[in-house]
Chains A and B, each alone.
Chain A
Amino acid sequence: MPSISRDEVAHLAKLARLAVTEDELDLFAGQLDVILQSVASVGDIATADIPPTSHAVPLTNVFREDVVRPSLGQQQALSGAPEAEDGRFRVPRILGEEA
């Protein structure tokens, strides 16, 4: 198994939307390497003929009648929002200035 470098940790942090600090990169690079080396042993017994299990209980789609039921009102849904405006969630810009 490949060992995990500081650069790879930085890449993972970026993918996971975590603005980690330089100190954390050093800490996590060492720890993630130890953890990943330890858990890689699953490969020892996971042979090609074994079917994977994603869930302990076989999952099937659950259907219900398409009827209106009570749900959160707009005010309740927005009650925990960091910022709201005109009955909507207010978010930082998602497009560049030129857009």
Chain B
Amino acid sequence: MTNDLIHATAAELAAKIHSGEVTSVEVTQAHLDRIAETDGKVNAFLHVDTQGALAQARRVDEAVKAGEQVSPLAGVPLALKDVMTTEGVPTTVGSKILEGWLPPYDATVTRKLKEAGVVILGKTNMDEFAMGSSTENSAYGPTHNPWDLDRIPGGSGGGSSAALAALQAPLAIGTDTGGSIRQPGAVTGTVGVKPTYGGVSRYGLVAFSSSLDQAGPCARTVLDAALLHEVIAGYDHMDSTSINAPVPPVVAAAREGLSGDLSGLRIGVVTQFSGEGYQQGVLRSFEAAVSQLKELGAEIADVSCPSFDYALPAYYLIAPSECSSNLARFDAMRYGLRVGDDGTRSTEEVMSLTREAGFGPEVKRRIMIGTYALSSGYYDAYYGSAQKVRTLITQDFAKAFENFDVLISPTTPTTAFKIGERANDPMAMYKADLCTIPANLAGTPAMSVPSGLSDEDGLPVGLQIMAPALQDHRMYRVAAAYEAARGAFGGPSL
């Protein structure tokens, strides 16, 4: 029974809970037990909220028992990335600077999940302030990839994706600034979606790079991701960059895709994302996916987006610049850590000592890169030029979408690398996000769907699907059709 419950999809669990076949408490307890059994090895969770989860499960069970209409994912458990504030439940962002902080309010995403009856199991591990591609930058130790515990689960949302792969939760929330949902999805064999920028509210999402940050759904199937997408998306007056437009019909698109027909759909293969630096097993998996999409009726051709070669450098100027400004709020005065306040030191000295003690090396590096890139004398050459590259990338997307409905590429150049392998080489680490960054810079939606296992190392590979802004449903349709054609590819043994 427990085994069935942790293997089930969110859609299956919701159906069973709503029909009264099982209770949400049983489902929630099965996942809490799984976390207790496996998280000593995986370290996906920073905080497990057993009481809060069971209380929410009981509320849903009572509503079902009373015959009330409940929302589509009511009673289904979820792992929430520790970047979203949760009232009264610890929110650390993977940083020592917020250790022990209990937020006084819920993020909009948190509130929507609660209102939809989703059961929040706890908060998942992440690279500190979402800066990283491996979850090794967490101040609370790395998360291990359930497929191979010596390897990284991707980052920054490695905790959320590892929790899915380890069957600790059927649903999770991530945030994607340069690939932090899609890259962990790819290397753990799970689905990860970055919606159109502004599609999901950023209120209560601890900011890293505000013009790029976007929360999105993570799951083991495309339909589950779509169901979660519709729960968390929508206009929010608390976020000035929230888009005031209807939520794209992603659930309908995922169901339509399951029919397996992509006749007439035009798919562009981005030629910039192959060649040197790409693992052969990843490229072969990608080619196999292209063949399957053709068999489904899609018309596939190459498309060149030359400016994408400059996306990585542009990103590593824009994101640090915004972070150096955003993280100025951690000043040791209103919340979080305070170090060195012995009555003799000035406010400025206390700030500097606190930030030195509270931030890890990657956060410090990015704050200083951003400070440099924004300083007078260097602004035009660095930040200004990066903003122009952003314009070129947006134009390349627009041109490509004149001829293609969606674009595809591998999600990552390689499968999961070993923990520690790139820890001392920031540039090597940054390259894990090579294929995912352009969509963040353009604000367009993109997702990763598993394309099976690499024939070299038996590790998961991801297929990235990109669509124009507000056309999120297009990629869900393609992903669902591909997923059905691809079939099962097994799972990790833990």
Residues of A within 8 A of B (CB): 1, 4, 8-9, 12-21, 24, 27-28, 31-32, 34-36, 38-47, 50-57, 59, 62, 64, 72, 76-77, 79-83, 89, 91-94
Contacts and interface: CB of A to CB of B under 8 A. Distances in A.
A79 B347 contact: no
Interface in B436-491: 441-444, 469
Interface residues of B, number: 70
Nearest to A34: B427
A42 to B, nearest CB: 4
Contacts of B338: 82-83
A73 B372 CA distance: 38
Nearest to B353: A19
A19 B345 CA distance: 13
A46 B314 CA distance: 10
Contact of A54 (B314, B355, B387): B387
Interface in B320-350: 324, 328, 331-338, 341, 343, 345-350
B341 to A, nearest CB: 5
State the 5 A-B residue pairs at the shortest beta-carbon distance, nearest first.
A56-B443, A80-B335, A52-B387, A82-B338, A46-B385
Interface in B230-247: 237, 240-241, 243
Contact of A80 (B104, B350, B351, B443): B104
A8 B101 CA distance: 34
Interface of B: 101-105, 197-198, 211, 237, 240-241, 243, 307, 310, 313-314, 316-317, 324, 328, 331-338, 341, 343, 345-353, 355-356, 359, 361, 364-365, 367-369, 371-372, 375, 381-382, 384-392, 394, 426-427, 441-444, 469
B314 A42 contact: yes
Nearest to B104: A76
Contact of A51 (B348, B350, B388): B388
Given A35-B426, A51-B391, A42 B372 contact: no
Most chain B C-beta atoms within 10 Å of own C-beta, residue among A4, A35, A51, A80:
A35
A92 B350 CA distance: 8
Contacts of A19: 349, 352-353, 355-356
Given A35-B426, A56-B441, A18 B313 contact: no
B394 A45 contact: no
A16 to B, nearest CB: 5
Given A31-B426, A42-B313, A92-B350, 18 more contacts: A9-B368, A13-B364, A13-B368, A16-B371, A17-B331, A17-B355, A35-B316, A35-B427, A36-B372, A38-B316, A39-B316, A40-B382, A42-B317, A46-B386, A56-B444, A79-B104, A81-B335, A82-B341
B394 A53 contact: yes
7 contacts: A1-B381, A18-B355, A24-B364, A32-B365, A45-B389, A54-B387, A94-B346
A89 B334 contact: yes
B124 to A, nearest CB: 21
Given A35-B427, A91-B333, A50 B372 contact: no
Nearest to B385: A46
Nearest to A37: B427
Given A16-B324, A31-B426, A42-B314, A77 B384 contact: no
Given A36-B372, A50-B388, A18 B333 contact: no
A62 B240 contact: yes
A64 B239 CA distance: 12
Contact of B310 (A18, A24, A42, A93): A42
Contacts of B442: 56
Nearest to A80: B335
Nearest to B386: A42
A64 B372 contact: no
Select the residue from A46, A57, A80, A93 with max chain B CB neighbours within 10 A. Answer: A46
B368 A50 contact: no
A17 B351 contact: yes
Contacts of B348: 17
Contacts of B391: 50-53
A59 B386 CA distance: 19
B390 A43 contact: no
B241 to A, nearest CB: 6
A82 B333 contact: yes
B365 A41 contact: no
Contact of B368 (A18, A56, A64): A18
Given A46-B384, A79-B102, A81-B335, A54 B211 contact: yes
Contacts of B384: 46, 52
Nearest to A82: B338
A46 B211 contact: no
Contact of B371 (A12, A41, A54): A12
B367 A16 contact: yes
A17 B385 CA distance: 26
A82 B337 contact: yes
Contacts of B365: 28, 31-32, 35
Contacts of A4: 372
Nearest to B314: A42
Given A12-B368, A40-B382, A34 B426 contact: yes
B353 A42 contact: no
B427 A57 contact: no
